[in-house]
Structure formats: structure tokens, C-alpha cells
Amino acid sequence: MAYQALYRVWRSQRFDDLVGQEAITKTLKNAIQQQKTSHAYLFTGPRGTGKTSAAKIFAKAINCPNSIDGEPCNECEMCRSITEGRQEDVIEIDAASNNGVEEIRFIRDRANYAPTAAKYKVYIIDEVHMLSTGAFNALLKTLEEPKEHVIFVLATTEPHKIPATIISRTQRFDFKRIDVQAIIGRMAYILEQSNQPYEEQALSVIARAAEGGMRDALSILDQAISFSNETITLEDALAVTGSLTTEMMDGFIGACLQQDVSGALEVLENILAEGKEARRLTEDLLLYCRDLLIYQQAPKLLENRAAYLTDTFKQLAEATVSERLYNMIKILSETQNEIRFTNHANVYLEVATVKLATPQTAPAVSASQPVNSTPAAVSQPADQAELTALKTQLQQLQNEMQQLKANPTVEKEERKAAPKKTASSYRVPTERVYQVLSEATKDHLLNVKNVWEDLLMALPVTQRAMLKASEPMAAGPGLLLIAFDYEIVCQRADSSDELRLNMQNTLSMMIKDYTPDFVFITRESWPRLRQAFVSQHHDRPVATETNETDDEISLIPEETNEVVEQAKSLFGDLVTIKDD
């Protein structure tokens, strides 16, 4: 017989064999014992957590004539036929390749007939979220009026794609990710039954790489068995999973904590040269920093769990303050999220390395300090010279306050003598504003305003925050005028080339072939600029955002007269022109 993968050979055949899903298995066993089974079940959860296996075990247990405590015997003809997939009354369907209306109608028609050999007909529909809308509607009719001898078991990894009308007619069971220790225990049992020698640390690395999926863990274990000579070693597991070795993590984190940017980048380059996958690398470093933090607070928790309790690891944990580890974990977590959506993961890793080696807060381990220095030596007090300077400034401020209280008229005289400050330090690009207004159209402005909220949501958080207090005021084929509530935000936006590029890319996707240049001004300067442009251009209408209460887009009339001009010069934008 051809070789079978471990996850197929050791697939769970009883509820008690399912790892990490005790609450679900107990509920199903009790329902079978008490004969209180439902007509439809929905099994949801990540891949490899036992959804399909539980469905098959349930089909066997409910049809097994020798069922004991809700468990199938796995010895009778009924159990063996279901296990081997030749029982006609237990039908397993892959919704990914059978997602049409006709397939579901065929199931509905067959469900009207009584089972031939089993007590119940059980339909197991895997990846049910792949069904089309019409197929879901056809299935809904069957679930609304179920037959007594038919049971549906729906399995999916994406329950949010299933209509609520389907979910409400099923009993839902959420399979959770399997704990690392549970995966290690199951793999150890399989290896002992197979007489395969192994190292415990190797199983820990494999279990972490599986990310809560037993099937993934057994697949990786299969690879490790093939890769190893006889015994599955830690080095074998690291090589198969692409995880970092203990020495690599010690060297990288140690260089970062010593603020050795060059050394940290060199270690990173060596790691990437060995072909380590960026996502796995970031995850390993994140877990390493997490374990450093846990070892500081509760070292006993890691005695039987961590695969890298080396002397260097212990020294780093003792010499690093918790705040520094919090900051490193935050940086690595942000990097892990960023590299999911890029083709240049190495760039993000290099940037993260520089951030890790140059923290914003007080350093935990200085470049001149040895790794095994004590925490007391790490957290140095503020520099004495800086402290003296702050005290001097404070004393000067106190003296000035006493002088003002003693002679308040001095302040008034200084106020009169002091020159008036300019209204704004931001240089408004007047010529660019006039250029926008000269080509502005109502349609362009309407199009931009219609997608403005979507544009904000598509930008990164920091850029979205800058544009939150802004509003498009005028738009043309090649230019877009945006007014900001605050001058400092306007300055930052005007100096950010990345913001301009992101806005252009996003607008081009939301409005076909529209990639305007941007002109940023303050909201305070807008009425003055608009009025000045209108005064100079009486020959054409200008489409802009008005300051009227109805907040509509209006056209400034082409023709004006002296009375209107005089009123506008006195009252500005408060004037509303109406045609009689």
C-alpha cells in the first residue's frame, strides 16, 4: 500500500481523539445519548481544528448500533463503511466545486427518500461559504422543512460569508485554535506509537509553527521525519519550519538592546541570506520578546515551554526594563501587519531593525554596557547638567512672575510697543489657488466630495488624522484645492510627498483617470482668496464650496453691478445674490 500522510493515518475516529475541543465533543456526545440531536449543525473555525473529522464521527455515532456513551464502536459494518467513505447514506460534498443551484436541488430531492441502510441520512457540506446565493436559497428551503431522517452538517472557515437565515436554522459550534501544549501531546503520542525518537524542543517549534492547526502540525511533523536521519532534533524542526535558531534570536535581540544598529542589520542580513521567510522571522522575534517579558515576571511558566532558555536569554531578561520590551513588541507587531500587504518585506524588516536598535524612550542596555549588567545600572537618572538648566529656567520664570505682579503696567506698555504678529506663518500659494479656481467645475467638486469619506478610510491612520479636519473647496481636471482647519496641519500635509502620492493613487481608483495635483490652504484664508479671485474675474462663473448654511455647491454669477460689489466689499461672503 502507498505511504499515507500522518494526518490521514492518525485522523480522529472517536470524539475523545479530537484534541482541544472538549466542550464541543461533550455537547455532541450528550445530545446523541439523550437522543436530542438537531436537524442541522454548523461547524466553524480555523483550518485543521477538527471540523470535518467531528462531522464524520458524529455521522458514525448517530448511526452506530453499538454506540456507547455517544461514541461509535468503529468495528461494526456501519462504522467501517462510513470511515472508508462507501456508505451511501453519509454523503460528503465539497461546496467549493459543487456550489451551484442544481447541485443543491439534487441534494434536496434525494433528501426526500428514506435512508437505505443507516438510521439517518447525513449530508456533510464542507466549505459551505462557497455556495452561491441561489444555492443558499435552495438549501434554506430544506432547512426550513427538514425531514426526520435527514441531518445536515455544514463546515466552514469563514462563517461571516454565510447568510444569517442559514445560521439561525442551525446549531453553531465554534472550533477554536488548538493549544500548543495539546498539539505537542498529540504529536508525542503519535511518535511514541510509531517508535520514532524525537527531542521535546523540536515538537515545541513545530507546534508553534502550526498556528493552532493539528493537521498543519502533523504535515510539518511528516516533513521533519523525512528530513531527519533517525531522531527528530531541534535543528531539524528549525530547518523544516524556517524558524530562527536560538543563536540567531539571541544575537539579533542582543544587538538591538545594545543599540548596535550596524550589528543588528548585519545579523538580519545573515538571517535573510539563509532563506528565512519574513513573516515567520517577525513572528519568532515577537514571541522571543514576549518570552523575555514573561520570564521577567513569572520564570516558572517558561521552564517547560520555551525552547531557548539559554544563558544569554536569561541575561537579556534580567538586564532589560519592561518598558523597553513593550516598545519592541509594539514595533514588531506593527511590522508583522505591514509585511502582509507588501512585496518588499525586507525593507520593512530593516526599518523595524533600526527602530528596535534606536528606541525613543530611555535605553535599557547602552552600547557600552555589557549584556549581563544589572537593571539598576540600566535605568540611569537624568543628566545632572540638564537638571541644573531646568532649575535655572524655572527660577527665571518665577522671578518674571513676581515682577509682573509688582508692576502690572509694564506688561501693558510692552503689549502696546510690541509689533503685531502676522496672522499666519504659512505661505499661501496664491497663484496656485487662482489656477485651481480658473479651471474649477461643479462636476469635479461633486465627484471628489462623493468619495471623500471613502478616500479618508483608505489612507493610513496618521494621514487620515491629518485630513480629518479638512475639506475640498474647489476641483478641476488637474488640480484640487483643500482647506484645513489648523495651520500646523496644513503645513505638515503640504510637506508630505507620501500623503500626496497616496491621495493620488486612491483618487485614481475611486474616480477613473483622475490624478490631480493638490493645493493646500488654511480655512481662514479661503474667503479672502475666493473674494479676490471673483473681483478680478468677472467674465466667468467659478464652481466652489460656499460658506452658506445649506452647504451646497453654487456658481458665482458672471455679471455683477456696483451695488453688489459694494455690498460684497462690506459683508464679504455673507452676501447672497438672487436673480429676480
Residue 428, pLDDT above cutoff 70: yes
CA 278 to chain centre: 16
Is the domain of 251 the same as that of 331?
Answer: yes
The pLDDT of 155-183, averaged and rounded, is: 91
- DSSP lists the bridge partners of residue 518 as 480
CATH number, domain containing residue 208? 1.10.8.60
Answer for the pair 559, 537: CB distance below 8 angstroms, yes or no: no
Sign, CA dihedral 518-521-522-528, equals negative
CATH number, domain containing residue 62? 3.40.50.300
pLDDT band at 154 (very low <50, low <70, confident <90, very high): very high
Is the domain of 212 the same as that of 99?
Answer: no
Residue 213, pLDDT above cutoff 80: yes
Question: Is residue 389 in a domain?
Answer: no
Question: Is residue 396 in a domain?
Answer: no
Domain finish residue from 354, 377, 400: 377
Is the domain of 446 the same as that of 563?
Answer: yes
CATH number, domain containing residue 253? 1.20.272.10
Is the domain of 47 the same as that of 154?
Answer: yes
Question: Is residue 104 in a domain?
Answer: yes
The pLDDT of 139-168, averaged and rounded, is: 88
Question: Is residue 282 in a domain?
Answer: yes
Question: Is residue 345 in a domain?
Answer: yes
Is the domain of 560 the same as that of 436?
Answer: yes
Question: Is residue 337 in a domain?
Answer: yes
Is the domain of 90 the same as that of 134?
Answer: yes
Is the domain of 261 the same as that of 359?
Answer: yes
Is the domain of 507 the same as that of 561?
Answer: yes
Domain finish residue from 347, 377, 407: 377
- CA distance readout (Å), 71 to 153, 189, 315, 521: 18, 21, 51, 73
CA–CA gap between residue 107 and residue 130 (Å, rounded): 16
The pLDDT of 253-266, averaged and rounded, is: 88
CA–CA gap between residue 123 and residue 59 (Å, rounded): 9
Is the domain of 162 the same as that of 110?
Answer: yes
Question: Is residue 568 in a domain?
Answer: yes
What mean pLDDT, rounded, does the chain reach?
A: 80
Is the domain of 310 the same as that of 454?
Answer: no
Which pLDDT score is estimated for 570?
Answer: 54
Convert the pLDDT of each residue in 48-96 to its tens digit.
899 999 999 999 999 998 888 889 998 999 999 998 888 888 989 888 8
Q: How many domains does the chain have?
A: 4
Is the domain of 85 the same as that of 227?
Answer: no
Which pLDDT score is estimated for 53?
Answer: 92
Q: What percent of the chain has pLDDT over 90?
A: 15
Answer for the pair 336, 283: CB distance below 8 angstroms, yes or no: yes
Which pLDDT score is estimated for 145?
Answer: 79
Which pLDDT score is estimated for 533?
Answer: 83
Is the domain of 11 the same as that of 35?
Answer: yes
> Which structural domain range is residue 119 located in?
6-174
CA–CA gap between residue 52 and residue 126 (Å, rounded): 7
Domain finish residue from 241, 261, 285: 241
Question: Is residue 412 in a domain?
Answer: no
Three-class DSSP labels, 14-48: CHHHCCCCHHHHHHHHHHHHCCCCCCEEEEECCCC
